[in-house]
Structure formats: C-alpha cells, structure tokens
C-alpha cells in the first residue's frame, strides 16, 4: 500500500460556528468553558480598540469514532489501535463549541502535520516531551506516522524530536527515530483547539509576539489581552463518502478604550451597589424572620 496522504477533495458548504445547533441537540462536555469573545458580525468588541486582527483558514478531515475500522480515505484503520490507545487515557474535550455527540458519533479532526502552523507544532511537541508530568493531560493532539507499506499499522504516537545532545558521546541516551514531517498526521478533537487558538494564526499576523504569548490569551476581553475563536467551519459530506472540512480561526489583540473603561467602572459600581442592597435585604429578612419566631414563641408561652 502506498503511504497514505490525506487528499483534500471538494470542500463542503460553510456552516457558521456562531450558530451550532448541535449544542442544543447533543449538549456539551462538562469541561467546556469557552464562549465567543467578540461579535459575530465583524465589529470590534464593545469598549475595546483592536490593535491587530488576523485570521487563517485550514484544511483538514473530520471523522467519527465509528470510522476508525474503515480503510482510508473513509476511515482510519491503519491508526485505529494507536488512536484508541491515545484517547483511552484522556478526557474527551468535545467537538466544535464543546459538543459531545457521545459514543461512536464523537468526532475527531485529522490534519497533515505539515499543514499545522509551526507555533502549534512546537507547542504540541512540548506537551509530548512532558509525558507523566503536569502537562500530559493537556496533550490532546496525537501525532502518528503514516504507514509505509501494505498492512502496516501505527503502534503509538510519534516521539517528539530529540533536543540537542549534551556534551559528551551521548552514551546511554535513548535514540529517537526521526519521522519526516510529511510522513506524519495529527489527530485531535476540535475542542482541543480552544486552549491555543492564537498560535494557529500568529504567523503572518503582524503581531506574532502577542499571538504567540498564551499568557495574554483570555476567554473574554480585558485590557491588553488576546482574543480568538473558530469563526467558521464546514461539515464533511458523509453521505458522499467525503471527510474533508475547512475551519477558520480569527484572533485579535485588544486594548480597553477610555470610554470603555469609564463604562466598565460605572457598571462595576452599579453591580456592587446592587449586591450590597441584596445582602442588606437578606440580613433584614433574616432578622425579621428571627423576630417573628421569637414573638411566636412568646405568644405560645402565654
């Protein structure tokens, strides 16, 4: 069998991620806490100036777990055991918008490793290098080698590239067989994107320094922060045997405006006043209830 290359066939029609009806039909995984951080009509977030905005579209394939036994391109048989082993010890983080189709209908995205932006590849390899450490549970991207011959199957994930050897002859060090980038694929649930969305669009953005700094990435806008979202994605034409999709990610660097800060401080002040009034009312209600109980006891004793 020739090495399997994910062919990018005719792409399906677009479905806006802003209205994902699967959320209402199937629900989301309990761990999904993300929501769209900016308007879906292309306008800027209210009260913020957009310093930099950039988007990029990516080609991929989307499979269901039920596709694992089938041969490519409709399935992932050469990687079935390796993928199942990889997923077995990790919590499923959902598809687009955290949707959980449950069981064999759960979805996985598959991409050519060379089509993944370099900042994302570096991040994935960092997680791979911490097996057994604090980052292992965050390593949600399985990197697998393509089969080289007929009947060959993947036995596990590809080890990350070795770092430079320390001074000396390197005796006793584990030798890692390097797999060429063109000979690898990466498999992940779409929900794994959200944690590192800015990395996907950093290259060519003009603000690489900000987008590559995940410490500035926030789920909602604050001053001097980075926001990102998969603003569009397509569905595969499964009825035609196709698995091809595209997804578009947009990110922006935002700074709070003076008017935005004034409005935020006003609402924060109003919110504090409302909470204080609520607490005062609760204290008064408890005091009145206590007084009524005491007066009731006195009447009972008389």
22-34: pLDDT as tens digits: 999 999 999 999 9
Using CA atoms, how far apart are residues 99 and 193, in angstroms rounded to an integer?
13
Average confidence (pLDDT) over 11-18: 43
pLDDT class for 267, splitting at 50, 70, 90?
A: low
pLDDT class for 300, splitting at 50, 70, 90?
A: low
What DSSP string runs through 119-175? HHHHHHHHHHTTTTSTTGGG---EEEEPP-STT----SPPPPPPPPPPSS--TTPPP
pLDDT class for 11, splitting at 50, 70, 90?
A: very low
Q: Which two three-digit tokens encode residue 219? A: 């789920």
Q: Which two three-digit tokens encode residue 68? A: 């694992």
Rounded-to-5 percentages of helix, strand, coil across the chain: 35, 20, 45
pLDDT class for 294, splitting at 50, 70, 90?
A: confident
Q: What was the pLDDT predicted at 5?
A: 42
Give me the phi and psi of 252, to 5 degrees please: -150, 150
Strand order in the sheet with 184-188: 14-16, 225-234, 244-256, 48-64, 107-112, 184-188, 142-145
Using CA atoms, how far apart are residues 246 and 234, in angstroms rounded to an integer?
6
End-to-end CA distance of the chain: 97
Residue indicated by tokens 């959200």: 194
Using CA atoms, how far apart are residues 159 and 145, in angstroms rounded to an integer?
10
What DSSP string runs through 216-249? GB-SS--TTEEEEEEEEEE---GGGT--EEEEEE
Lowest mean pLDDT among 92-96, 140-144, 280-284: 280-284
Q: How many CA atoms lie within 13 A of 94 on its CB side?
A: 21
Residue 172 in this model has a pLDDT that exceeds 70? no
Report the range out of 63-77, 152-166, 170-184 with the highest average pLDDT.
Answer: 63-77
Q: Which two three-digit tokens encode residue 61? A: 């394939």
Q: Is the peptide bond before 302 cis (omega within 30 degrees of 0)?
A: no
Give SS3 for 108.
Answer: strand
Q: What was the pLDDT predicted at 79?
A: 96
pLDDT class for 15, splitting at 50, 70, 90?
A: very low
Chain mean pLDDT for the chain: 84
Q: What was the pLDDT predicted at 83?
A: 95
**For the chain, percent of residues with pLDDT exceeding 70:** 79
Domain boundaries of the chain, sorted by first residue: 14-162+175-254, 257-302
Using CA atoms, how far apart are residues 17 and 14, in angstroms rounded to an integer?
9
Q: Which two three-digit tokens encode residue 18? A: 């802003």
CB 5 within 8 A of CB 59: no
Which residues sit opposite 246 in a β-bridge?
A: 59
Residue 10 in this model has a pLDDT that exceeds 60? no
Residue 166 in this model has a pLDDT that exceeds 90? no
Report the range out of 118-127, 172-181, 258-267 with the highest average pLDDT.
Answer: 118-127
Report in angstroms the alpha-carbon separations of 234 from 17, 97, 117.
9, 13, 20
The pairing of strands 225-234 and 184-188 is: unpaired
Q: What was the pLDDT predicted at 9?
A: 37
Lowest mean pLDDT among 131-145, 156-170, 174-188, 263-277: 156-170
Q: What was the pLDDT predicted at 41?
A: 87
Which of the two residues, 8 and 174, has the higher pLDDT score?
174
pLDDT class for 3, splitting at 50, 70, 90?
A: very low
Using CA atoms, how far apart are residues 216 and 198, in angstroms rounded to an integer?
10
Average confidence (pLDDT) over 242-271: 81
CB within 8 Å of 192: residues ≥ 6 apart:
93, 140, 141
Which of the two residues, 37 and 270, has the higher pLDDT score?
37
Lowest mean pLDDT among 18-32, 158-172, 221-235, 242-256: 158-172
């Amino acid at each position: 069998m020739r090495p399997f290359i994910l062919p990018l066939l005719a792409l399906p029609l677009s479905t806006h991620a802003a209205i994902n009806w699967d959320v209402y039909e199937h629900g989301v995984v309990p761990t999904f806490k993300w929501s769209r951080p900016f308007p879906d009509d292309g306008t800027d977030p209210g009260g913020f100036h957009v310093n930099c905005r950039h988007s990029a579209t990516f080609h991929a394939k989307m499979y269901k777990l039920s596709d694992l036994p089938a041969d490519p391109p409709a399935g992932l048989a050469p990687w079935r055991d390796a993928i199942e082993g990889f997923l077995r010890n990790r919590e499923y983080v959902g598809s687009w918008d955290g949707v959980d189709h449950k069981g064999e209908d759960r979805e996985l995205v598959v991409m050519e490793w060379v089509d993944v932006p370099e900042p994302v590849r570096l991040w994935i390899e960092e997680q791979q290098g911490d097996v057994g450490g604090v980052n292992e549970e965050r390593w949600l991207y399985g990197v697998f080698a393509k089969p080289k011959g007929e009947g060959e199957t993947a036995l596990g994930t590809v080890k990350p590239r070795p770092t430079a050897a320390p001074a000396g002859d390197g005796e006793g060090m584990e030798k890692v067989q390097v797999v060429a980038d063109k000979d690898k694929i990466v498999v992940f649930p779409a929900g794994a994107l959200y944690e590192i969305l800015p990395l996907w669009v950093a290259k060519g953005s003009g603000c690489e320094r900000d987008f590559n700094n995940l410490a500035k990435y926030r789920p909602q806008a604050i001053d001097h922060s980075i926001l990102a979202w998969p603003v569009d994605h397509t569905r595969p034409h499964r009825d035609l045997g196709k698995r091809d999709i595209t997804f578009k990610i947009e990110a922006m660097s935002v700074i709070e405006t003076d008017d935005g800060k004034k409005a935020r401080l006003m609402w924060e002040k109003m919110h504090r006043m409302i909470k204080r009034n609520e607490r005062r009312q609760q204290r008064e209600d408890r005091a009145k209830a206590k007084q009524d109980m005491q007066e009731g006891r006195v009447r009972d004793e008389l």
